[in-house]
Amino acid sequence: MQQLKALQLNQIRKSYQQGAEVLKGIDVAIQPGEFFVLVGPSGCGKSTLLRLLAGLEDVSSGEIYIGNEFANRLKPSERELSMVFQNYALFPHMTVEQNIMFGLHVKKIAKEEQRKRCEEAAEMLGLIPYLKRKPKELSGGQRQRVALARAIVSHDPICLMDEPLSNLDAKLRAKMRSEIRQLQRKLGITMIYVTHDQTEAMTMADRMMILNQGVIQQIGKPLDIYNHPQNAFVASFIGAPPMNMIPANVADSVLHITENWSMDVDIDWQGDVIAGVRPEHIQQAKSGTPSFTAEVVNVEMLGTETLISFEIQSGLQWTAKWQGQHQLNPGDIVSLFIDQNQMVFFDEKEKVNIEYQSLGAVQ
């Protein structure tokens, strides 16, 4: 439908007059046709980055390339992109149809063609029966679809989305997630999608970038990030329930976790570390495997899986996720087993995954 476009950011910085630097040197290349997710806790700078891309705000320093064109000084409308806002930014005084076609006249598109595109988009999103209604007569999900329709009628090669699902309830969110993903594939547009929800990021992204306090924490495919988090922040941010962590010590290939629990590990490290393990990797010990015991504090049964919280150290709780249903009660003592290969270690000072350090890939 249109030529695909890549995006390239070089050393993007943004600070406001009040002082604080919101983005501290962002470098990233986004591939044409990619679904790229910016994820991070609130205030990390992800929305600001999106607004810089859209041209709604100016960068303090750095370069933005859209396609192969230097885009720093382009107006928002010259960047050939569409944007879906968090609260949809629908015009309350216009009908759905008028909303969808808003601004098309600027692109010198004939009236006929405008109508055709509007119908196409409405068809795609199931909005045909609502074209003559005003936004206030629509449900949250329908409004969301109008916003999407508006983004696709312009046939721009890049689409930016700023937390578009955060105003929907959980069920609808899950549905829209897959709908947006399918739409992006069908149209073949480059999508840059901002969210604070790691589930959204994991389920939708081709690649994602995790931001914290204006600094890139990691860029990569969701599963790579999940399995090989660059640092402790990424490890705890991605995955639910979050990765369990504990300060520990490695001496002569023995990991001392607590007073009465140590295990052999096969890592090239001496001294203090932070040891981490995902809940699904804490298994029920079979007889004969090295194990440790803990007292169950809380049990959550979800049907297909069971979440067991236990105290590993006074004041520090870990959670294990077991498949299936397990009849356990608070107070029960359980034997647990962790495969050393499933553990992740972060150096105690910089909180960086030691696997990356030995590769010399510290960022």
Partner 1 sequence: MNIPNVEKQSMKLQTKGHKRHRRRFSFLEGWLYLLPSLFLFTAFLFYPMVRTVYLSLFYTDTQGKPMAFAGMENFTALLSSSSFLLSVKSTFLFVLYTVPVGVLLALGLALLANQKLAGIGFFRTIFSSTMGMSVAASSVIWMFIYNPSIGFANRLLTWFGLPEMQFLLDPSTALIAVAVATIWMNTGFTFLILLGGLQNIDSQLYESAKIAGVSTIYSLRKITLPMLSPTLFFVITVSMINSFQTFGQIDILTKGGPIDSTNVIVYSIYKDAFINYNIGSASAQAVILFLCVFLVTIIQFKLGERKVHYQ
Token pair 């589930």 is found at 199
- Among residues 190 and 353, whose Cβ is nearest to partner 1? 190
Determine if 78 is a binding residue for partner 1 (CB under 8 A): yes
Determine if 102 is a binding residue for partner 1 (CB under 8 A): yes
138-157 residues in contact with partner 1 (CB under 8 A) are 150, 154
Determine if 85 is a binding residue for partner 1 (CB under 8 A): yes
109-138 residues in contact with partner 1 (CB under 8 A) are 136
Min separation Cβ 268 and partner 1, Å: 52
* Per-residue exposure over 262-280, b if at least 16 CB sit within 10 Å of its own CB, e if not: bbebeeebeeebbbbbbbe
- Among residues 86 and 284, whose Cβ is nearest to partner 1? 86
**Near partner 1 by CB under 8 A: residue from 11, 43, 58, 89:** 89
Q: Is the dihedral of CA 211, 217, 220, 225 positive or negative?
A: negative
Q: Of the ranges 98-106, 276-284, 287-295, 297-305, which one interacts with partner 1 (CB under 8 A)? A: 98-106
Determine if 56 is a binding residue for partner 1 (CB under 8 A): yes
CA dihedral 270, 272, 278, 283 (to 10 degrees): 70
Tokens matching residue 55: 């041209």
Min separation Cβ 103 and partner 1, Å: 3
- Number of Cβ atoms within 10 Å of the Cβ of 101: 22
d(CA 133, CA 118): 14
Size of the site for partner 1 (CB under 8 A): 26
Determine if 19 is a binding residue for partner 1 (CB under 8 A): no
Residues 6+ apart with CB under 8 A from 331: 295, 296
- Tell me the residue length of the chain: 363
**Near partner 1 by CB under 8 A: residue from 81, 100, 245, 257:** 81
- Among residues 92 and 360, whose Cβ is nearest to partner 1? 92
- Among residues 150 and 281, whose Cβ is nearest to partner 1? 150
The CA distances from residue 57 to 15, 37, 53, 66, in Å, are 11, 20, 8, 16
- Among residues 79 and 278, whose Cβ is nearest to partner 1? 79
d(CA 6, CA 363): 24
Name the residues that contact partner 1, by CB under 8 A. 54-56, 75-78, 81-83, 85-87, 89, 91-93, 102-107, 136, 150, 154
